A and B are shown apart, each in its own frame.
Chain A
Amino acid sequence: GIQVEQSPPDLILQEGANSTLRCNFSDSVNNLQWFHQNPWGQLINLFYIPSGTKQNGRLSATTVATERYSLLYISSSQTTDSGVYFCAVVLSSGSARQLTFGSGTQLTVLP
């Protein structure tokens, strides 16, 4: 099956710092999403970005589908950005919508 690797596994930042999270995937995909898991466990949608670049406030994401990676940028980080960030993909083949998740990046933003 498709492999999804996220790096780094853990990231500790001082408030105000910028960060880049990376997601590598091993096969062609027709869906790539970034999520933030809140302390209660819910996955919050950040970006649906199978290709190209999107921005939403302090967050932006870029997916280079031909090179099979995606990047999530967090600028001017805040303590509320803390949590686990997941990248998830759906294979291009087939009609089902099975998301395969990476193992996540645990982000801690210190005040």
Chain B
Amino acid sequence: KAGVTQTPRYLIKTRGQQVTLSCSPISGHRSVSWYQQTPGQGLQFLFEYFSETQRNKGNFPGRFSGRQFSNSRSEMNVSTLELGDSALYLCASSGSYEQYFGPGTRLTVT
């Protein structure tokens, strides 16, 4: 069974731009969660989608948004990028309780 895939793997953007990241979960998994990892804040939960509905949201500003499609693939969008948005963004896929992570997208904002 193929694992969780994320695209792109690396991204460099300029402050003020917006970015869209993509995540394809393990086949059959309906839950997709997103996490941000920074050296200062560690791993923090962004949001979770289940059957195209946002089920939970972390403590991030409204510039961070996401969606899930009928095939369970998910995208997250960050608008008006700030330098502090530079981070590793990880997507997790879950069929029951155990969560499996993708390789991440490393975003650098200059």
A-side residues, CB < 8 A to B, are 30-31, 33, 35, 40-43, 45, 48, 50, 86, 88, 90, 94-101, 103-104
In this assembly, does B94 line the interface, its C-beta being within 8 Å of a C-beta of chain A? Answer: yes
A27, chain B: closest CB distance, angstroms: 16
Which of B17-25, B64-72, B77-85, B96-104 lines the interface with chain A? B96-104
Residue of B nearest to A35 (CB): B101
Residues of the B chain whose Cβ atoms lie less than 8 Å from the Cβ of A99: 33, 35, 43, 45, 92, 99
Check B33 against A41 for contact (C-beta < 8 Å): no
Kindly name the residue among A33, A41, A103 whose own CB sees the greatest number of chain B CB atoms within 10 A. A41
Check B104 against A31 for contact (C-beta < 8 Å): no
Residues of the A chain whose Cβ atoms lie less than 8 Å from the Cβ of B99: 31, 33, 97, 99
How far is B40's CA from A103's CA once the two chains are assembled, in angstroms? 10
What would 10 A/B residue contacts be, using CB atoms closer than 8 Å?
Answer: A31-B97, A41-B103, A45-B101, A96-B48, A97-B56, A97-B94, A97-B97, A97-B99, A98-B48, A101-B42
Residue of B nearest to A31 (CB): B97
Give chain B's interface secondary structure class: strand
Residues of the B chain whose Cβ atoms lie less than 8 Å from the Cβ of A100: 45
A54, chain B: closest CB distance, angstroms: 12
Residue of A nearest to B106 (CB): A41
Check A98 against B106 for contact (C-beta < 8 Å): no
* Given known A33-B98, A48-B98, A97-B97, contact A41–B42 (CB-CB < 8 A): no
Check A98 against B33 for contact (C-beta < 8 Å): yes
B91, chain A: closest CB distance, angstroms: 11
In this assembly, does B31 line the interface, its C-beta being within 8 Å of a C-beta of chain A? Answer: yes
How far is B94's CA from A30's CA once the two chains are assembled, in angstroms? 14
Residues of the B chain whose Cβ atoms lie less than 8 Å from the Cβ of A43: 90, 101
Residues of the B chain whose Cβ atoms lie less than 8 Å from the Cβ of A50: 97
Check B102 against A90 for contact (C-beta < 8 Å): no
B96, chain A: closest CB distance, angstroms: 9
